[in-house]
Amino acid sequence: MTKTNIEKLNFECETGNYHTFCPISCVAWLYQKIEDSFFLVIGTKTCGYFLQNALGVMIFAEPRYAMAELEESDISAQLNDYKELKRLCLQIKKDRNPSVIVWIGTCTTEIIKMDLEGMAPRLESEIQIPIVVARANGLDYAFTQGEDTVLSAMAHRCPGKSLKKEDIEKTKKSNNVFVKNFFKLTQKTLNFNAESSFEKNKNDNFVYKNHPNLVLFGSLPTTIATQLTFELKKQGIKVNGWLPSQRYSDLPFLGENVYVCGVNPFLSRTATTLMRRRKCKLIGAPFPIGPDGTRAWIEKICFVFNISPSGLEEREKKIWDSLKDYLFLVQGKSVFFMGDNLLEISLARFLIRCGMIVYEIGIPYMDKRFQAAELALLEKTCIFMNAPIPRIVEKPDNYNQIQRIRELKPDLAITGMAHANPLEARGINTKWSVEFTFAQIHGFANARDILELVTRPLRRNKNLQELGWTELVKSKV
């Protein structure tokens, strides 16, 4: 990974607990992204209640996920886990017939040591559907790292080197439908990637420049992925695939000559898998959040491919000009990040560029190698804006943070839902950090959505002050 001088930043670690949403919630956006998938969450009734209550408000159609609930007898090892999971997967195959089933392991499966990785290959060969095992327990992972474990597991399933002649002959004679389908997928992907990256688009007379294969990783809505792909296309860069893809059968080709670049700061495990296991080359870039981050992300990819970027400065300036009405509201305001979704560094960097003062960046987990370019851009932004460099606290202790918030009195605290109401009652404006996870915040066009979320509590309380309601509320607290 890129080595960057980040000594000027102040890092602390308070070794507090993960005060975050449960990472099994990643199924909410992953099942929508991978359209031919089915997610089976293996846990207790508590996990089921969480999914039902936390995600039910965001889902208006029948979802492609289910709970495999463990009872007391299961936890006591009195029942056969394999038989029960086989029954459930056969039912899923009959009802939905997905291209892939993803098992999501929870805290309970970790505690009782369920051998999901051992059972999956055997069951996979029996039911003839790929089964991907991902651990997303709240003991080891923060909120958004659930996606990281799923993509890391799915990276192993991406097509790679071509098969030997003897393997091809064995595959043709095999009666295993799954083996044949995987062979067809591998050959299809190899043929697709064998085409030269120097090609012409008949519709817009556009020419791609000659460069190695590029795969982007991170789950984004299709519209946002299309926007980022188009931004790179304007620089002559062709995106050869996304991980995850919309369909499991379209997983990208991975190998030694493939370059990969992430779009989210919480995908360090996936980045490590792509480098160590699949031998890909990682492009360490800031993340495309905000116009400044998006420009730096594109420029870094262009730099690696020895391509001179064009029009990015004008593109960024145009976006900043369109944000003036929001910038007027946030300039000079202070913000405090309590830490929840691992997007804190990128969001803080963007808000500092908007003219805000960031007192503290709490973050549940920090991989300085994967976020090196983002940290360097954060420091550069603070210098450019003549703003104080915020302290960065990994695994913050919430009790200590509350004391610091009471002393600093920030204009806004971005926090998990558990602390929002108590802070509001004490006169601190808050914004749920989880909203940034589900909002569309990537790319040039979506910077406005970030500021819409940030300024909403500020605008609301300003209106209340004009009505004289805030003083009434404070007098009763």
Per-residue pLDDT tens digits for 148-191: 999 999 999 999 864 444 544 544 444 555 545 555 555 544 44
CA–CA distance, 285 with 228 (Å, rounded to integer): 14
Q: Which residue has the higher pLDDT, 471 or 369?
A: 369
CA–CA distance, 312 with 444 (Å, rounded to integer): 10
Residue among 419, 263, 268, 265 nearest 336 (CA): 419
Residue 397 has pLDDT above 70, yes or no: yes
Residue 194 has pLDDT above 50, yes or no: no
Query: What is the pLDDT, as a whole number, of residue 190?
Result: 46
Q: For residues 232-246, give the mean pLDDT.
A: 95
**Counting beta carbons within 10 angstroms of the beta carbon of residue 201, is it exposed (0 to 12), middle (13 to 18) or buried (19 or more)?**
exposed
CA–CA distance, 247 with 130 (Å, rounded to integer): 13
Whether residue 107 is annotated as binding a ligand: the answer is yes
Residue 410 has pLDDT above 80, yes or no: yes
Lowest-pLDDT range, 23-27, 234-238, 459-463? 459-463
Residue among 414, 422, 408 nearest 338 (CA): 414
Query: What is the pLDDT, as a whole number, of residue 168?
Result: 43
Q: Which whole-number Å values give the CA distances from 91 to 98, 101, 115, 160, 225, in the listed order?
A: 11, 12, 21, 31, 33
CA–CA distance, 252 with 151 (Å, rounded to integer): 12
Residue 251 has pLDDT above 50, yes or no: yes
Q: For residues 68-95, give the mean pLDDT.
A: 82
What is the pTM for the complete model shown? 0.87
Q: Which helix (H) or strand (E) holds 188?
A: helix 177-194
Bridge partners of 66, per DSSP, are 40
CA–CA distance, 415 with 340 (Å, rounded to integer): 7
How open is the CA angle 310-274-378, to the nearest 5 degrees?
Answer: 50
CATH superfamily for domain 23-141: Nitrogenase molybdenum iron protein domain (3.40.50.1980)
User: For all residues of the chain together, what is the average pLDDT?
Assistant: 85
Query: What is the pLDDT, as a whole number, of residue 167?
Result: 45
- 320-476: CATH architecture: 3-Layer(aba) Sandwich (3.40)
Q: Which helix (H) or strand (E) holds 334?
A: strand 334-337
pLDDT in tens, 97-117: 999 999 999 988 888 888 899
Bridge partners of 358, per DSSP, are 335
Query: What is the pLDDT, as a whole number, of residue 273?
Result: 96
Query: What is the pLDDT, as a whole number, of residue 199?
Result: 42
Residue among 128, 132, 133, 123 nearest 182 (CA): 128
The position carrying tokens 């009782």 is: 112
pLDDT in tens, 323-359: 999 999 999 999 999 988 999 999 999 999 999 999 9
Query: What is the pLDDT, as a whole number, of residue 468?
Result: 60
Token pair listed for 424: 């509001």
Q: For residues 422-450, give the mean pLDDT.
A: 92
Query: What is the pLDDT, as a whole number, of residue 62?
Result: 64
Query: What is the pLDDT, as a whole number, of residue 471?
Result: 52
Query: What is the pLDDT, as a whole number, of residue 298?
Result: 97
pLDDT in tens, 295-318: 999 999 999 999 999 999 999 999
Which fold would CATH assign to domain 175-314? Rossmann fold (3.40.50)
Could you state, in order of their start, the residue ranges of all structural domains in the chain?
A: 23-141, 175-314, 320-476
Give yes or no for a contact between 458 and 329, defined as CB atoms under 8 angstroms apart: yes
Lowest-pLDDT range, 15-24, 233-242, 385-394? 15-24
Whether residue 47 is annotated as binding a ligand: the answer is yes
Highest average pLDDT, of 14-23, 112-121, 251-260, comes from 251-260
Dihedral sign computed on CA atoms, order 202, 203, 209, 210: negative
Report the percent of the chain where pLDDT is more than 90.
63
Query: For the chain, what is the total number of helices (H) and then of strands (E)?
Result: 21, 16
pLDDT in tens, 34-79: 999 999 999 888 888 888 877 665 545 567 888 888 876 666 665 6
Whether residue 13 is annotated as binding a ligand: the answer is no
Q: Which helix (H) or strand (E) holds 185?
A: helix 177-194
Is residue 238 classed as helix, strand or coil in its secondary structure?
coil
Query: What is the pLDDT, as a whole number, of residue 7?
Result: 47
Confidence of residue 137 (pLDDT cuts 50, 70, 90): confident
